[in-house]
Amino acid sequence: MRKKFNTSFKATELGARAAIAAISDHIRAFWLTQDQADGVEIALAEAINNVVEHAFAKAEPGDVRVLCSLRDSQLDIRICDAGVPMPDNRLPPGLAADVSVAREDLPEGGFGWFLIRELTSDLRYDRCGLINHLSLRFDFETLK
Amino acid sequence: MSLTSTVDGNARIVTVNAERIDAAMAIQFKEDMRLETEQGPDHVILDLSAVSFIDSSGLGAIVASMKQLESHRRLDLAGLTPMVDKVFRLTRMDMVFKLFASLDDAKAAAAG
């Protein structure tokens, strides 16, 4: 089984919100279970929000392209943008936040890359020329 | 306003009237929570049953909403839909908050 869906949006918070919801709706129609699709939407949202918040933090929001393809039970999502590269050209480690601390010390952020790493089967980042390519792969044992 | 609230017995119940608690609304959410919980009972229940999606910014805003309460007050969460529940469990925030399947369960615990 093969399915494809591509889209692009302006890298703003509201652009991201609409794109995440639209991509997620399409992916849900790829016969994923509710839980599989929920995991994809969470990881996708964190990856897209990261582009909006960091790649275009100091620049006019550019276009972000998202290419989704499902082949058999493997879903690939590629996110491309012409914003600034990741620090040191590599992905952040995404360690789990420590929550066994006093209330006033609880983390209010830093969950994003942890969630992406937990929910994906493979994660790759490449800087090609002036373009960031982030690939999220999800290997599902079975589909709905 | 994304939130409305009522006082029910010894708890303030804050209802989220939005499908998504995301990066675009996180700052407003935290501020709205501060306004809704400024006064009233020590026990606050956040009803999330209308929320089908939350991202890490939204999660951070809920954590911040608890941290801005005085230390003797508490915030419980009710009516988590499957995706919201998944985010809380993956980030271990289910160890920090009391999560209730429904608002009625949370109210019963507050009364008991």
At residue A17, the pLDDT reads 97
Would an 8 Å CB–CB cutoff place B33 in contact with chain A? no
Query: B109: buried, middle or exposed (CB in 10 Å: 19+, 13-18, 0-12)?
Result: middle
Pairing of β A2-10 and β A63-71: antiparallel
Question: Which of B23, B87, B93 minimises the CB distance to A42?
Answer: B87
CA dihedral A18, A11, A93, B29 (to 10 degrees): -60
At residue A116, the pLDDT reads 98
At residue B112, the pLDDT reads 74
pLDDT at B101 over 70: yes
Closest Cα of chain A to B8: distance in Å? 26
Return the residue matching tokens 């929000």.
A49
Closest Cα of chain A to B28: distance in Å? 13
Closest Cα of chain B to A129: distance in Å? 29
Give, as one character, the DSSP assignment of residue B88: H
Beta-carbon separation of A49 and B63 below 8 A:
no
At residue B19, the pLDDT reads 96
Domain A2-139: CATH superfamily, name plus number: Histidine kinase-like ATPase, C-terminal domain (3.30.565.10)
At residue A24, the pLDDT reads 96
pLDDT less than 50: residues of chain A: none
Beta-carbon separation of B57 and A104 below 8 A:
no
At residue A91, the pLDDT reads 96
Domain regions of chain A by residue span: 2-139
pLDDT at B111 over 90: no
**Separation CA A45–CA A51 (nearest Å):** 10
At residue A123, the pLDDT reads 98
Beta-carbon separation of B61 and A103 below 8 A:
no
Among chain B residues, the shortest Cα distance to A38 is held by B83
**Separation CA A93–CA A113 (nearest Å):** 7
Would an 8 Å CB–CB cutoff place B83 in contact with chain A? yes
Among chain B residues, the shortest Cα distance to A118 is held by B90
Beta-carbon separation of B57 and A118 below 8 A:
no
Please check whether the domain covering B3-111 is classified as CATH 3.30.750.24: yes
Contact A26, A4 (CB under 8 A): no
pLDDT at B1 over 70: no
Helical (H) or strand (E) element with A34? helix A34-50
Domain regions of chain B by residue span: 3-111
ipTM of the complex model: 0.94
At residue A141, the pLDDT reads 85
pLDDT (tens digit per residue) in B18-61:
999 999 999 999 999 999 999 999 999 999 999 999 999 999 99
Would an 8 Å CB–CB cutoff place A122 in contact with chain B? no
Mean pLDDT, all residues of chain A = 95
The DSSP result for A91-129, as a single string, is ----PPPP-SS-GGG--SS--HHHHHHHH-SEEEEEEET
